[in-house]
Amino acid sequence: MPQATPETLALALPHVLAAPKDDAPIHTLCFRKGFGKRDFRESLTLTVAEGVPGERWMKHPWMKLADGSPDPRIQISILGSRVVEAVVTEPEMIHPGDTIVADMDFSEENLPVGTRLRIGTAVVEVSDLWNDACVKWKKRYGKPAFDWVRAPGHPELRLRGVLCRIVEDGEVTVADRIRKI
């Protein structure tokens, strides 16, 4: 399957960086009930206690606290739709599986650690963990997409999106927008 090239990713960067700073439209909501399983929905429930109830975060988080419980800083991931457009070159390519895909600037400058976002009736907080593009990202979208996220000057752009903890329970729909509070 064709993958994005360093050249096409470089050309896409100005468009990615021109994403809205606030009041961002949501493109997709993804429920991840298991590894590699994606269920696209019109709405999701977000809770402080369970993340997205029924998702794999409670049973199989990739990051745990010292007591073995799931790390709340990774309850949800939000990825920029313009990044998805840049790395997904064929409709058959697997969706990255981020909880929310939205048209927003996720850079550190726009969303410093601790920034709170209202998404529907829920509130989330941008965590201090950097989403650095895992080996699955590299396998699915190629080494150029992997390197693009990690290139000098790019980590602070958060091209791979943000990880967030939920601080206020609520519902989010694809008709909602993400707003800074």
Domain boundaries, position 11: 6-175
Strands 37-40 and 24-34: antiparallel
The domain that contains 164 carries what CATH number? 2.40.33.20
Question: Does residue 1 lie within any of the structural domains?
Answer: no
What is the total count of domains within the chain? Answer: 1
Question: Does residue 99 lie within any of the structural domains?
Answer: yes
Question: Does residue 162 lie within any of the structural domains?
Answer: yes
Instruction: Give me 54's structure tokens.
Output: 């029924």
Percent of the chain's residues with pLDDT above 90: 76
Residue 1 is predicted with a pLDDT of 67
Question: Does residue 150 lie within any of the structural domains?
Answer: yes
- The pLDDT tens digits of the residues spanning 129-149 come to 988 767 788 888 999 999 999
Interval 38-47 mean pLDDT: 95
Whether 180 shows a pLDDT value over 70: the answer reads yes
58: amino acid identity, one letter: M
Question: Does residue 151 lie within any of the structural domains?
Answer: yes
Question: Does residue 180 lie within any of the structural domains?
Answer: no
- The pLDDT tens digits of the residues spanning 53-98 come to 999 888 888 889 999 999 999 999 999 999 999 999 888 888 788 8
Question: Does residue 181 lie within any of the structural domains?
Answer: no
Interval 104-120 mean pLDDT: 98
Question: Does residue 67 lie within any of the structural domains?
Answer: yes
